[in-house]
Amino acid sequence: MSATPRLSVIIPVLDEAAAIEARLDRLLGLWLCGTEIIVVDGGSRDDTLAKACPVATRILQCPPGRAVQMNTGAHAARGSQLLFVHADTRLPRRTDLLIDRALAGKHCWGRFDIRLEGRHPMLPVIATAMNIRSRLTGIATGDQALFMTREAFTTVGGFPEQPLMEDIEMSRRLKRLSPPACLRHKVVSSGRRWEQQGAWATISLMWRLRFRYWRGASPEALAREYRHVR
């Protein structure tokens, strides 16, 4: 690991012992290329921390909450570029080079296209719709692996520490600095949410929550409804 990594990958986790080793092993190539891998645990009660040790550059602990965990990791990171990745997301090859090229021009932040993994026949359609919507609106979700310069992160004050829609709000803030770099290289994320809850039911729920957020509903109220439905 170089003394000054260019890219820091920040992964918020909670009770991920069953799969954390396999997921971090996929980042070994980035780690060998000098990328900093930071795992931020939100209070796991299993062996997540012990199993993350072999690949993670640093392991941090803080109160639970994805936004809180991502901010904690970002403040501790040494890289000039920050990549925020959900624990169940797989990155494309040489993610570090892809991000470096994307941030070399007019963009100070961006995200990847997404492919949803699973058996439900609607998953490719849902992923395509997510990618198109993101290009049209300039809004990205955490599933698409948000990346940005450290300067951009600092300028917008980091992720809003709210229980839901933190990625939507972060995108809104970053859009004031530059349009997003929308990379066509795909991250692969789990389609479990759509398979377990039903594709149309999940789509309806997420659009309803986003519409209410746009209308001014509090993230706390939306999070209560989201947890209740799940």
Per residue in 25-43, pLDDT (tens digit) is 889 889 888 999 999 999 9
pLDDT tens per residue, range 142-160:
999 999 999 999 999 999 9
Whether residue 105 is predicted with pLDDT greater than 80 in this model: the reply is: yes
| Higher-scoring residue by pLDDT: 120, 210 | 120
Q: Is residue 225 assigned to a domain?
A: no
- Quick check: 153 and 74 in contact, CB under 8 A? yes
Q: Is residue 209 assigned to a domain?
A: no
For residue 228, the model assigns a pLDDT of: 44
Q: How many domains does the chain have?
A: 1
For residue 28, the model assigns a pLDDT of: 87
Structural domain span for residue 102: 7-193
Average model confidence (pLDDT) across the chain? 90
Q: Is residue 210 assigned to a domain?
A: no
For residue 227, the model assigns a pLDDT of: 63
Q: Is residue 188 assigned to a domain?
A: yes
Q: Is residue 226 assigned to a domain?
A: no
Least confident of 64-78, 82-96, 208-222: 208-222
Distance between first and last Cα of the chain: 40
Least confident of 117-121, 137-141, 209-213: 209-213
Choose among 23, 179, 6: nearest CA to 97. 6
Choose among 21, 94, 29: nearest CA to 39. 21
Q: Is residue 148 assigned to a domain?
A: yes
Q: Residue 150's domain is classified under what CATH number?
A: 3.90.550.10
Whether residue 205 is predicted with pLDDT greater than 70 in this model: the reply is: yes
- 24-28, 96-100, 216-220: range with highest mean pLDDT: 96-100
Q: Is residue 116 assigned to a domain?
A: yes
Q: Is residue 199 assigned to a domain?
A: no
Whether this prediction's pTM lies above 0.75 is answered by yes
